Structure 1
């Protein structure tokens, strides 16, 4: 099995993806900025496999990205899969977003992905890795606009386009670049936001927009990521696989029985 780097690996979708790869015999380097959560998840997942490592730091920092690259060159050189899962999802009206808040979203959701992917791709090229794969975690918001998250939607739409451009540039090195875009996912973070009746009502309304009328399980997203990075998807590149219960396909009218 191969070596896998997963950012945003301490909880939620990133942790679920980490677990999926460990269960299938891969060696995983977990990366996250939250040292406490990263340590707890690392200890928990170590029971699945001892082939697990961790690095803690802020991906928005150039020095930390350089630290990752130096670590990989020294101790993880034959990495064949990179999964860019780290991201932020703030909510604020476009009329209220500050320039600093806008930059913070783009620095993590888009800029850090580009520079980390480029440097890991260089290592893959130098190491002559076969069936190398980069997976970017986008969102259904890369396809469907939502009010209150203009910075998030824009960053994920940009990430989708970055995925496509890198897929064209890296194809000659046999590096596939794809994206996976979740919709609403049943995570601990989501549950923590449902702390009053208004938010619960809004959440139920969001679910009603999906043809499948439910949230995704973390394992369902992890399965999509695992497939897209595997040799079974060896002729797929430049794509954005949406795991959103049909949300991006169109709206379901509540009164329809079709």
Structure 2
């Protein structure tokens, strides 16, 4: 039984991860910036003994600290941190304002960075730990017609951060990896202006989009692995590997 912190856990990928890890018997500390959505998910999961919830903006360092404190108070340890919380919106490069870039960097990169810092401090005391970050295949395979320089810059930082953190703390048996999803069916698609996510299936060699369960299953594998670290794993149906014509 592991104690797992999941940020951005109230909807989409984060919620699917929470559901799967709970089914496998793990203790959860779930987070969302939207308190109402978080409470709805908490009630839906319906297991007060194995779940604690902490609402709060992950860009605030205090939120990451509170997540770790809650995990220790409720379950005595922090085995896995899944940095899932993030935002993503397309916008033309020439229209990006300073406030836009600051928002992506604060929530996506800064949130992942300092929540991990709080978790690593506890993992060092325990002698091991596991961190799973969420990036995107668009860092390595950009799409013409989908302008997203600001969010991709923040996600690129997460990819680099993943490898650097794995290098720094590998000797302490702290594994750090990232999942880079392709197009996944989730509420995020509607937020980015995509009304029919299946219309993007052609971007993947498998000619279909992914499901949140696909991401959850890979997260579970990484959480249970003792010998994978420093990896950015594309979960993309072949998006990066090649093209369909």
Unaligned runs of 5+ in 1: 254-258
For 2:84 and 2:121, the matched residues in 1 are separated by 20
Cα distance, 1:194 vs. partner? 6.5
* Alpha-carbon spacing, 1:148–1:193, altered in 2? closer, same or farther (3 Å): closer
* Alpha-carbon spacing, 1:211–1:45, altered in 2? closer, same or farther (3 Å): same
Q: Is the 8 A contact 1:185 1:218 kept in 2?
A: yes
Cα distance, 1:78 vs. partner? 1.1
Partner of 2:215: 221
* Backbone CA RMSD of aligned residues: 1.8
Partner of 1:37: 37
1:237 to 229, 235, 243: 229
Q: Is the 8 A contact 2:127 2:173 kept in 1?
A: no
Partner of 2:201: 207
Q: Is the 8 A contact 1:77 1:123 kept in 2?
A: no
Structure 1: 4+ residue segments shifted above 2 A: 62-77, 188-195, 203-206
1:134 to 106, 131, 134: 131
Partner of 2:142: 145
Partner of 1:79: 78
Cα distance, 1:236 vs. partner? 1.0
**Highest CA radius of gyration, 1 or 2?**
1
For 1:60 and 1:114, the matched residues in 2 are separated by 9
For 1:151 and 1:20, the matched residues in 2 are separated by 31
For 1:65 and 1:236, the matched residues in 2 are separated by 24
* Alpha-carbon spacing, 1:25–1:70, altered in 2? closer, same or farther (3 Å): closer
Alignment length (residue pairs): 243
Partner of 2:91: 92
SS in 1 for 2:217: helix
Unaligned runs of 5+ in 2: none
Name which of structure 1's ranges 186-195 and 220-229 shifts more when overlaid on structure 2.
Answer: 186-195
Q: Deviations over 1:76-109 (max 9, x none)?
A: 4411100000000011101001101101001111
Q: Is the 8 A contact 1:186 1:216 kept in 2?
A: yes
Cα distance, 1:50 vs. partner? 3.4
SS in 1 for 2:81: strand
For 2:191 and 2:102, the matched residues in 1 are separated by 26
SS in 2 for 1:249: coil
Q: 1:152-191 residue pairs with structure 2 within 5 A?
A: 152-190=151-189
Q: Is the 8 A contact 1:135 1:229 kept in 2?
A: yes
